[in-house]
Structure 1
Amino acid sequence: MTTHHVPARRRPVALLLPGQGAQHLGMAVELYGHDRGFTARMDAFFDLLGPEHGPPMRADWLAGADRPAELLDGPWRAQPLLFAVACALARGLGERGVRPDVLLGHSVGELAAAALSGVFDLGAAARLMTARSDALAQLPPGGMLSVAAPPAELAGYLGPADRADSVVIGAVNAPRQTVLAGPEPELQRVADRLTAAGTLFHRVRAPLPFHSPAAAEAGEHLTRALAGMTLHPPRIPIQSTRTGRRVTESEALDPGFWARQLAQPVLFWPALDALLAEGGHTLVEAGPGRSLSVLARRHPAVRGGRSDVLALLPSGAEGTRDAWRQAPARLAAAGFEPLSAGA
């Protein structure tokens, strides 16, 4: 009788995939040309974007500090790059035997989760990112405010959920970190009121009113673009930050589920809370910086030691190669034993 070795994993791995606001100049650039697999995956994505979009995006990304930060903050650059970097890192982990048990993405990170789970392939993902950029061109000027308060304390600042000029809750990132989203000039009026009330907040690095009624028309544009793509049930469970629970098969096959999240709030904390209620996990942030890791460390399951948090890359451009090289050892220290090659 043949005995198969089953790798021991103290906790299942959940990949955290960041969205708009996590971008920074030089993000993961140190790996390009250094890590063969990462380089090939990034090049494949740029090639699929086509000659109009791929080469200039690659050039702006690789230029790092030689480009103004505002260029990378624009969603036409930030979101495809965040998507590509997250997918390239996650697949690099897979080559090292680190295969996630569940995926949890913030905003465009949820689209990265869908791609990694096989809902759509890389070619469709590139078309989706192009269509998303086209849809974003329809949004009015606006933005997002990260406020140090729970949603209940901000009700007086919110407008009707059915009006395109309203400021609404765009994300629930932590119990006392709520993001307000909406168009200008109403968003600035809310910012002025928060300042007068002495409530701490800061502007998110997002120049458009994502996750608000102002993005509803763009979401419909994206739905029409997605309708021509073949979608598949997820091969890896996705903890949705749109619903706070697992993506169902019917949701995964619905183009509107993925497209209309552009106008819906990001329920990061409810999704994380539901995931960690199932038991301890090793939470691995696969993306630039540590924005989701910082939030996850506030969770009682992490503070109490029932779950671990690990960010693959540093917050800045330097030190990326060292962090990536040390990732397997850091995962092992968190109790994860990689699957053997071919397992």
Structure 2
Amino acid sequence: MPDRTALLFPSQGSYLPEVLRPLAAAHPAVGDVLTAVDHAATQYGCAPVTPVLLQPRAPSLEELLDRDPETLQLAIFATSLAVHTVITEVHGVQADVLVGHSMGEVTALVAAGVYTVGDGAGIICLRSRAMRDHGGSGSQVAVGLSAERTAHLLGVLALDDLQIAAVNGPRQTVVSGTDDSVDLLSDAASAIGVAQARVPWPYLSHNHLMAAAAQELGESVALIPASPLHGRIYSPVYGRFLRDEDDFPQLIAGHLTRTVDFLGAVRWLHARGCDTFVEGGAGRVLTNFVHEATGLAHTVALLDQPVDLTGFEAAASTLPGFRPDSAAATSPLTAAPEPGADDLEPARAATGPTALPEWDELLAELRRMYAEETEAPEDLIEFDMDLESELGVDSLTQLSLFARAARRYGRAEPPKSLRITDYSTLADLADLLRRMDAA
């Protein structure tokens, strides 16, 4: 089944003063997020973010960039998690896939339950510190060219320190490097009539010159405990869905040296049925990129300015699964995805284990689900076929499908300790469902 709705978590620049105040006033869950972030920030030697996000006459983006870029990063992280918490916990919306741009990938890992809110805030502090201590005199510039034409321009300049940092859209590519080299690139772009603008961030990132900082960051993050994924994350750095066996500290460290292909992520998801992209933070930077990349996808900016609570809820009400006044049944930071928008069969009423269908019918239903996910003909899927090695279904997808089957038949949510790879065939999964308690 296709992922229909993607929730996007932004990075630097996605900050609007006071934009979170209406949500914080209406929903105590926002205060819980901010409290956890503030507590972790203090432990890691950073300033709390609540005064910045909620005080009247809050500092502007330019002011924070100039005097406190570390707090700015925490504010962007906290805002995104507050948005995610409200739409999931209060309004029952569960996105099919999470996508983080650069630092936003840390937010996605928290939203998918890999890290706690506090640990995620600690990672942001460690990340900011690594860039501050090792960033040198580097900077970034956005040029109005495709990635291919930008790479050609860099080849002409032949400056070893210049690197494509991010591919944001069909005609926006960000390049990072030392200040002197970025100046030369800007001059060259202007000389050939190409629009360009400096990215307002004081430290070098997404550049091979940050290798020492990346190693230090990876070693620090490796000390923070991680849990299995409880949601689907598509990584613009890896160019694929993340898996439980991925090295998440190295993914986070890689943000300092590797390119973010956001355009590639959007096009890949859109080509496979994702038709709604939601800005999970302040402003509409990422959804603007989506519009440029696809032209057709539905985009939703939840905290665009000016905004009030009515405006936020009006935007959120366009999302699949929106409930006006009820809390979702599961925790916002550990919930598995709800059934896809094209899963049209209603859930079966279940009062106990006997509510399951007969064995043959249950096997047939599981086979149908896996056939839809893999786009393989049903008659080629055997009940004793190994789902990963023979059918190519990764463990995260298996867990998501099994959780959906459990909900359909009124079974309790699978425990976090469940090793889905221990149940390698459809027959194994059917037997597990028969032995599970009713919800």
Aligned to 1:5: none
2:276 equivalent among 282, 296, 315: 282
Superposition pairs for residues 218-233 of structure 1, below 5 Å? 218-233=213-228
Give the TM-score of the pair, scaled to structure 1: 0.85
Q: 1:211 to 1:40 in 2, by over 3 A?
A: same
Structure 1: segments with no counterpart, 5+ residues = 1-9
| 192, 204, 218: which one aligns with 1:209 | 204
What secondary structure, in the 3-state scheme, does the structure 2 residue paired with 1:217 have? helix
1:66–1:79 Cα change, 3 Å: closer
Q: Which residue of the partner structure matches residue 329 of structure 2?
A: 342
SS at match of 2:230: coil
Task: Supply the RMSD in Å over aligned alpha carbons.
Answer: 2.6
Separation (CA, whole Å) in 1 of partners of 2:181 and 2:111: 37
Question: 1:47: Cα distance to partner?
Answer: 1.9
Which residue of 2 is the match for residue 3 of structure 1?
none
Q: Are 1:313 and 1:324, in contact at CA under 8 Å, matched by a contact in 2?
A: yes
Structure 2 equivalent of residue 321 of structure 1:
309
How far 1:225 moved relative to its partner? 0.5
1:158–1:166 contact (8 Å) kept in structure 2: no
Task: Indicate conservation of the 8 Å contact 1:47/1:54, yes or no.
Answer: no
Quote the offset at 1:93 in angstroms. Answer: 0.7
**Residue 264 of structure 1 corresponds to which residue in structure 2?**
258
Aligned equivalents of 1:63 and 1:17: distance in 2?
23
Change (3 A) 1:27 1:211: farther
Judge conservation of contact 2:140–2:176 (CA < 8 Å) in 1.
Answer: yes
User: What are structure 2's unaligned runs of at least 5 residues?
Assistant: 331-439
Distance 1:29 1:264 in 2: 35
State the Cα distance separating 1:321 from its structure 2 match: 2.7
Tell whether 2:161 aligns with 1:176.
Answer: no
Q: Secondary structure at the match of 1:262?
A: coil
Is the CA contact (8 Å cut-off) linking 1:28 and 1:320 kept in structure 2? no
User: CA offsets per residue over residues 138-167 of structure 1, 9 Å max, x none?
Assistant: 21122221111112212344379xx9x711
Structure number with greater Rg is 2
Q: Residue in 1 aligned with 2:358? A: none
> Could you report, residue by residue, the CA deviation over 1:201-226 in whole angstroms, capped at 9, with x for unpaired residues?
11222222221123222211110101
CA distance 1:276–1:185, shift in 2 (3 Å): same
Alpha-carbon distance change, 159 to 221 in structure 1, aligned in 2, over 3 angstroms: farther
* 1:33 correspondence with 2:58: no
Letter in 2 for 1:236: G
Aligned to 1:104, what secondary structure does the other structure show? Answer: strand
Aligned residue type for 2:147: P
Residue of structure 1 in register with 2:121 after alignment:
126
> What is the CA distance between 1:286 and its match in structure 2?
0.9
Q: Specify the code of the residue in structure 2 equivalent to 1:325.
A: E
How do 1:238-257 and structure 2 match up within 5 A? Answer: 238-251=233-246, 253-257=247-251
Report the alpha carbon displacement of residue 43 of structure 1 after superposing the two structures with TM.
2.2
Question: Structure 1 residues 51 and 118, CA, compared in 2 at 3 Å: closer, same or farther?
Answer: closer
Residues 261-284 of structure 1, C-alpha deviation per residue, up to 9 Å, x if partnerless? 221111101111111121133211
Q: Tell me, what secondary structure is at the counterpart of 1:170?
A: strand
Shift of 1:16: 0.7
Is 1:43–2:48 an aligned residue pair?
no
Moved over 6 A (4+): none
Are positions 1:309 and 2:296 aligned together?
Answer: no
Q: Cα 1:64–1:151, aligned 2, differ >3 Å: closer, same or farther? A: farther
Structure 1 counterpart of 2:4: 12
Cα deviation for residue 30 of structure 1 reads 3.8
How far apart, in 2, do the equivalents of 1:62 and 1:218 lie? 32
- Please give the alpha-carbon distance, in whole angstroms, between the structure 1 residues aligned to 2:179 and 2:103: 22
Q: Once the two structures are superposed, what CA deviation does each residue of 1:52-89 show, in whole Å capped at 9, x if it has no partner?
A: 75655333334464535433235412221111111111
Give me the whole-angstrom Cα distance separating, in 2, the residues matched to 1:238 and 1:228.
22
1:116 Cα deviation from its structure 2 partner? 0.6
Q: Does the CA contact (< 8 Å) of 2:6 and 2:274 recur in 1?
A: no
When residues 81 and 72 of structure 1 are mapped into structure 2, their CA distance, relative to the original with a 3 A threshold, is same
Q: Is the 8 A contact 1:105 1:240 kept in 2?
A: yes
**Corresponding residue for residue 187 of structure 1:** 182
Q: Which whole-Å CA distance do the structure 2 matches of 1:293 and 1:330 have between them?
A: 15
Percent identity over paired residues = 28
Q: Amino acid of the residue matched to residue 17 of structure 2?
A: L
